[in-house]
């Protein structure tokens, strides 16, 4: 994608779990029909210095729930093969939407609502 635009996509794979630094996150791989892009990489936990461990956040749980709600799926595993729409550009996906309905998930809106304004 060169400029911000809405494109059709299909979810080809997903990952929900710890990334290589032990941080809980997700990644949804999207195929645009000849090219692809990943959506995710948001941090779903916080580090607690007192316990020297990571603990899940409300943002992380709400992120997962909103993806499932917008794409009308009951389980994370059911996302693979799902057709969707993507609002983004070459370096960033801003939001993911239902293929046929005007339903969108925007992680920045969620972050602003739950955590205060973030870049």
Task: Identify the pLDDT of residue 37.
Answer: 96
Report domain extents, the chain: 15-115
Residue-wise pLDDT for 54-91, tens only, equals 999 999 999 999 999 999 999 999 999 999 999 999 89
Task: Identify the pLDDT of residue 2.
Answer: 66
Task: Identify the pLDDT of residue 115.
Answer: 75
Distances (CA, A) of 86 to 19, 47, 48, 54: 24, 31, 34, 31
**What's the pTM value of the predicted model, to 2 decimals?**
0.90
Task: Inform me whether the pLDDT recorded for 1 exceeds 60.
Answer: no
């Amino acid at each position: 994608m060169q400029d911000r635009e809405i494109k059709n996509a299909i979810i080809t794979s997903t990952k929900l779990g710890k990334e290589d630094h032990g941080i809980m996150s997700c990644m949804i791989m999207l195929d645009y029909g000849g090219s692809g892009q990943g959506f995710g990489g948001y941090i779903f936990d916080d580090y607690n210095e007192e316990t020297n461990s990571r603990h899940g956040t409300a943002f992380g749980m709400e992120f997962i729930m909103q993806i499932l709600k917008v794409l009308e799926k009951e389980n994370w595993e059911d996302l693979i093969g799902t057709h969707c729409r993507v609002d983004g550009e070459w370096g960033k996906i801003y939001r993911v939407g239902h293929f046929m309905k005007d339903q969108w998930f925007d992680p920045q809106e969620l972050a602003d609502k739950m955590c205060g304004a973030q870049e």
